[in-house]
Structure 1
Amino acid sequence: MKVLLVEDNMELAGSISNFLEKEGYLCEVSYTSSEAYDKLSGFQYDCVLLDITLPDGNGLELLQFMHLEKIDSCVLIISAKNSLDDKISGLEGGADDYLTKPFHLPELHARLRAIFRRKKLQGSNIVSFNEITLNTDTLEASVNEIRLDVTPKEFDLLLYFLVNKNRVLSRQSIAAHLWGDYTDNLANFDFVYQHVKNLRKKIHAAEGADYINTVYGLGYKFNTAVS
């Protein structure tokens, strides 16, 4: 899961990002509202952890921006403010949940997983299509009930394809989703091709259909019409 953390407290941001990365997340940090605007404008995120009080703006304004730009990321507000008005404003503004500081990091993790399942996976930790099944809790992937020996990146890649079935995904968007915004400066995305190739090979070895199609000049698509 790719997460954008918008938090001006560097010590807290460091603790959260280190914890999430140990749990297998790709976590990027914005310390200001302006940094968050730039990242949200240029990259896609599964979830946004959003502080309300920022040195150069308000988290609720970022929520409004996401709504206007139709940015469909899950949003968990994390804020020291505990007033009912703030909670209502955040939830009515499009946030999926609200967590008041201070909080325990395992609770943050549980809230993130819950809102991602609810918003992106229809409330389940099991994602499946025909013979392919993914368990987002155990990070296990299977084809025809045969467990695949996939790396964490390959699991995330397959989940990304399943969540975006029949959509053309560019190599750049795949790279940014799995490896972060630093890939924006790379000369090419040949490593994406290698990961896709390895994933297709493992699915084929388990006698799964070749759903992942190359769209020449653009990227890849998980084609549900393949039988």
Structure 2
Amino acid sequence: MKILIIEDEVDLRETIKESLLKEQYVVETASDYATAFEKVSIYDYDCILLDIMLPNGNGLDLLEELKRTGKSENVIIISAKNSLDDKVKGLALGADDYLTKPFHIAELTARIKAVLRRKNFKGKDCIEEANLILDIQERTLLVNHQNVHLNKKEFDILNYFLSNKNRLITKTALAEYVWGDHIDQADNFDFIYYQIKNLRKKLEEANAQISIETVYGIGYKLTEK
């Protein structure tokens, strides 16, 4: 799961980031309007935490852009402004939730998980496909009710494939989703190949009834056997 924190207050931004990293999320940040606009224009996120008061811009204007591109339903507004008008406008623009500062990180995390369940898993904590059960909250995989150990990246890759079954996933899209904007520092996609190779081996050894097919020169596709 990839989350973008749009917040100009350094201490709060870093506190939220560290907390979400501990929850095994891929986390990116933006501290001003221009950076945030660039990120949401280029990348897709499972959840966006959006402050209203930003340097060089207003978060509600950014929310209008997200609504125009169909990306506003996964936004949680985090703001020091406890204004009813701002709440009404934010929710009308498609924001999923509105949290007033100061707040407890535990409450924010709970709201993020609720957004992710509604957006990606139809309110459920697990994805069930063929003879697999992927538990998103516990980050576990069961195949034929037997636990299969996955490292963090393998879990995130499988989660992404299961959420996009039968869709062609390009190497670039997969890398951006699992590694975030740090992917810009990579020279090639060899690291994806090795993670996919290890994941395939574990799935085959567990007799999983799915396969990750290579579409040469483009990427991968998950299909049921």
TM-score bracket, shorter-length normalisation = over 0.9
Gaps of 5+ in 1: none
Gaps of 5+ in 2: none
Indicate the larger mover: 64-73 or 85-94: 64-73
CA distance in 2, matches of 1:178, 1:111: 22
Q: TM-score, normalised by structure 2?
A: 0.96
- What is the Cα-based RMSD across aligned positions, in Å? 1.3
Residues 85-96 of structure 1: pairs in structure 2 closer than 5 A? 85-96=85-96
**Cα displacement (A) at 1:24:** 1.1
Does 2:191 align with 1:194? no
Distance across 2 between alignment mates of 1:151 and 1:78: 32
Asked if residue 64 in structure 1 is aligned to residue 64 in structure 2, the reply is yes
CA distance in 2, matches of 1:24, 1:185: 21
How far 1:127 sits from its partner (Å)? 0.9
CA deviations on 1:60-117 (whole Å, 9 max, x unpaired) are 1111111222336611110011121111111110111111100000111000001110
**Correspondence 1:23-172 to 2 at 5 A:** 23-71=23-71, 74-172=74-172
CA distance in 2, matches of 1:152, 1:219: 20
Q: Would the aligned equivalents of 2:8 and 2:32 in 1 still touch at CA under 8 Å?
A: yes
Q: TM-score, normalised by structure 1?
A: 0.95
Percent identity over the alignment is 46
Partner AA of 2:60 in structure 1: L
CA contact (8 A) 1:50 1:78 kept: yes
How far apart, in 2, do the equivalents of 1:185 and 1:44 lie? 19
Residue 185 of structure 1 deviates from its aligned partner by 3.6
Task: Report the CA distance shift for 1:199/1:72 in structure 2 as closer, same or farther (over 3 A).
Answer: farther
Aligned partner of residue 36 in structure 2, secondary structure:
helix
Give the length in aligned residue pairs: 225
Return the letter of the residue paired with 2:141.
A
Q: In structure 2, what is the Cα distance between the partners aligned to 1:108 and 1:200? A: 35
